[in-house]
Structure 1
C-alpha cells in the first residue's frame, strides 16, 4: 500500500527544513551538524509516521511532529553547549612560553649564526606540526587506527629481524657504515616513544577480552623493551625507561577508568604484579647495575673529563657554588682548574692521587682543554653538549637558583594543566592515548631534570618543547598535539567501538 507521506513528502519539508536549519546554525562545530540533523530528522520522521497512522494529513503530521520537538534555536544552543570543540588557553600559553624559552636558549648558545637559523627552523616546523596535530590528530586516529596497528606490527617485525641479524652478525659492513650518516640510534629512540600510543590503541580494541588485553600489555611492553635494549643498549636506556613506566601507568589508568571489563581490584593487582615483573626483568638485564650505579653515584664512575659521570660531578660542584640570584663567580684559577679537571683528578700515579684526595685520571684519556687562563670563561668549562643536554643547569649557573626555580615552576605548571585537561577527557580511547602521551612527555622531563642536577641515567633525554633537536621537537610535538586534539574534539567525536568511521568526523 502506498504511503501518502512518501508521495507528498517534498511539498511538506519546508517547515521541517527551517526547523533543522535553526538547530544547525547554533552548532559551532560544523562537521557535527550533519549528524545532529540526521538524528533529529529520524525523530521527526518517526513521529510523523505515528500521526499519519492516526489519520492526520501529511502536512499536518509533519508540522505537529516538528512542533513537538520544541524551539529549534533552543535545541541547537543546548546541543552546542554540550557538544562543542574546546581548548585550554592556559595550556596554550604555557606551551608557547616553553617553546619561546627553548628558542631563546638555542639562539643564545649557538656558536655560529647558522645554528641559530637551524634552531628557528626546527621550532617553527615543530609549531606547525603541533597546530596540524591539534586540528587533525584525533579525527585521523579514529579513522585510521586499524592501519596504524598494521603499520606498527610491520615495524616491530622489522625490528625483530634486525635484532636477529645483529645477534648473528649478519649485518653487512655497508649498513653499519651508514651509522655515520643516518642516526639509527636516534630513530630507534623515538620509534619506541611513538609505538606506545599504538599499543594503547590495540589494548583499547581488546578491552572486552580482558585476559588477552592484560597478556598483550605485558608481552608487547616486554618485547619492545628487550628489542630496543639489545639493539642499542646505553643509547636507548632513557627512552626505554620512559616507555616502560608510561605503559605501566597507562594500563593502571585504563583499569581505574574501567575501560577494561572485569573486577577492578583483581585487575589492579594483576597489572601491579606485571609491572613489578617488568621492572625486575629490566633491572636484571646485562650492565644495568653499572648504569644504575652511575646514575645514583656518578663519582664512582668518573674517570676522565669526557665522561657523562664526570659531567654530573662537575654540575653538582658548580651548582653548589651558584648564588640565589646572578651568575656564578669563579676566579680565573678556578675556571682553569675546572676546565682541565685538576680540581677533581690527579695526573700522577695512584699514590699521588690518594695523597691529594683526588681520583687518578684515566690512562686512556687526556684532557683536551686548550684555553689560556687569561681568557677562559664559564662557557669553556661547561659540560659537553651543554646547549642541548644541560639547559637547566646552564640557566642556574648564568642567572642563579631563583631563576632556575622559576623555570621549574613553569614546567610544573605546564604538566599540572596538561594532566588536568587529560583528566577531563571523557572519551575512553582519547583519554587512554592522551594519558600515555602525557606520561611520555613527563618522564622525559623528569630524566632530563635529574641529569641537570648530576644524576644522568644512560643516554640523554630531551626536555620537551625546550631542548631542541629536529627529531625531538617533531616527536614531542606529535605527542602533545594529540593531547590537544583529543581534548579539543572530546565532546564532538565519539570513538567507535571497533574502529569504524565516526559519523561526526
Structure 2
C-alpha cells in the first residue's frame, strides 16, 4: 500500500476535518523520515516507502486511535465551576431581593434587578456559553483585522444613529426596544485584538505601528459617536497592553522587547499625563470624578463643584458605612438602611448590597471564587498548543480579571468612583451575557486543543 492510499484510509476514520488533515500531515512526515532512514541502510526508495508504511500498522486501527485522540473535548471541571459561579450569583439574589423590601434595588432602566429576571438571565447566559463553545474560535486566524474592522464600523455607525446619551456620554444602543451596553459590547473587541496580535507574527517592526493603531481604534470609535470616559479608555488600553506584552514575551515580532516596552511605558505615561491635564481643566460632571477622588487624598487640581463633591463623598461614605455596619454572616438592618438610601448607585457597587444582606463572609467567598475563575481561565489558556488559542484565551482572562480587580478597588475606595461591573454578579443583562460569551470562547479553545495544534513560529530576537 502506498503512502496516499494508506493516509486516505486513515482519514476516513477521523471525523473532524481539520484534525484529519493535521494527523495526515504528521503521519506522512513520520513515514517519509522512516523511509529516508531505510534508504540510508541500502534499501531502494520504493521498497523503503512500502516498508515504512507497513511498520505504521493497520490504517483502520491507527485511524480509530487518532480519531479518539484528536476529537473535541469538554472541560467538565471548568463547566462545573462556571455552574457553581452561576448558582452563587443567583443565590445571593434571594436575601438581597427580600431584605431590601423591594423588587427593584437600583431603579435603573438598564438593569434587571428582579430575582426571576436574574435567574432567566443566568440561564440564558449558560445557553449562549454553550453555543459559543460549539463554535470554532480559529475563524479569527487570518481574519482578525477584517472582523475587527467590521465590528468597529458597525459600533460607530450604530451608536451614532441609535445611541442613548446620558450625562453627555453614549452608554447604550437602543434599536426597536432592545438595549445594548456599549461597555459590554466593546469587551468583545479584546479577543479580536488578540487575533490581530497573532496575525502580525513575524512581521517585524512595521507591525508594531499597525498594532498601535488597532489598539487605539476602539477609543477612537467611542470618541466619534460620543464623549469618551477616562475609565473606558484606561480599561481598553490597559487590557490591550497586557495582551501585547504577552505577545512580545513570545518573541512574535522579531524586535528588541526591552526597547519596545520602554517606549510603551514612556508613551503610556505621557498619554496619561495629557489626559489628566485635560481633566483638570474641565468642569464636566463625568470628569469631575477624578478630581473628587484626588481631593479625598488631599490633592486639589483646578476648581471643584461643591455639589459634586458632596454627592461623590456621600456615595463613598455610604459604601464605607455599609461595610462597617455589615455583619460577618447574615443581614444587617442598619447596613440595609444605608444601602436603601443610595439605591440608584448599587448596580455598580453590588458587593455593598451583598455585604448588607448576606454578610461579609459572602463577599469574601465571591471575591475568592471570581479570582479563582480568572486564574482557571489563564491556566487553560497558557497550556494551549495553539498560539491563537493561547492568546485569545488570555484576552478573556484579562477582561474578567481587570473587571474583578477594578470593581473591588472602586467599591473599597482605592480607585475613583466610576461605572463598573463585577462579572456574573452585577445586574446588567448585557454585562452578564458578555461574561458568558467569554467563558464560552475559553471552552471552545479547550474543546479544540487536540485538533487545532500548531508549532510555535520561528522567531528571531533582534539586538
Match of 2:85? Answer: 98
> Could you list the runs of 5+ residues in structure 2 that have no partner in the other structure?
105-111, 298-303, 458-463
Change (3 A) 1:253 1:302: farther
State the alpha-carbon separation in 1 of the partners of residues 450 and 45 from structure 2.
41
Cα shift readout 1:414-457 (whole Å, capped 9, x = no counterpart)? 12222222222232222222222221221112222223325564
Describe the SS at the equivalent of 1:277.
helix
| Matching residue of 2:349 | 390
More deviation in 487-496 or 130-139? 487-496
> Which segment drifts farther, 447-456 or 393-402?
447-456
Q: How has the CA–CA distance of structure 1 residues 132 and 211 changed in structure 2, closer, same or farther, with 3 Å as cutoff?
A: same
Q: 2:436 is matched with which residue?
A: 477
**Structure 2 partner of 1:357:** none
The answer to whether the 8 A contact 2:198-2:388 is kept is yes
Contact 1:86 / 1:487 at 8 angstroms: preserved in 2?
Answer: yes
Equivalences for 1:21-420 in 2 at 5 Å? 32-37=19-24, 40=27, 54=44, 64-70=51-57, 85-86=72-73, 88-106=75-93, 108-110=95-97, 111-112=102-103, 115-142=114-141, 144-145=143-144, 147-152=146-151, 154-155=153-154, 158=157, 187-228=181-222, 231-233=225-227, 236-286=229-279, 287=282, 290-295=288-293, 303=307, 307=311, 309-328=313-332, 330=334, 335=337, 338=338, 380-381=340-341, 383-386=343-346, 388-420=347-379
Label 1:201 to 1:481 Cα distance change in 2 as closer, same or farther (>3 A).
Answer: same
Q: Is the 8 A contact 2:393 2:442 kept in 1?
A: yes
Distance 1:24 1:421 in 2: 31
Structure 2: distance between partners of 1:230 and 1:62: 63
Root mean square deviation, CA, Å: 4.7
- What residue in structure 1 maps to residue 301 of structure 2? none
For this pair of structures, how many residues does the alignment match?
425
* TM-fit CA distance, 1:481: 2.0
Residues 204 and 253 in structure 2, CA contact (< 8 A), matched pair in contact too: yes
CA pair 153-461 structure 1, distance change in 2 beyond 3 A: closer
Structure 1's 15 and 293: CA in aligned 2 closer, same or farther, altered over 3 A?
A: closer
Q: Secondary structure at the match of 1:325?
A: coil
Q: Cα–Cα, structure 1 residues 262 and 190, in superposed 2: closer, same or farther, change >3 Å?
A: same
Deviations 1:34-78, CA, capped at 9 Å, x for gaps: 542465368769989999x9497xxx8885342133566896698
Residue 429 (structure 1) aligned with residue 380 (structure 2): no
TM-score (norm 1): 0.68
The gaps in structure 1 that reach 5 residues or longer are 1-11, 170-174, 339-378, 499-505
The normalised TM-score by structure 2 is: 0.73
Aligned-partner SS, 1:284: helix
**For residues 87-121 of structure 1, what are the alpha-carbon distances to aligned partners after superposition, in whole Å with 9 as ceiling and x for unaligned?**
54443333222222222344554544993343233
Q: Is the 8 A contact 1:107 1:119 kept in 2?
A: no
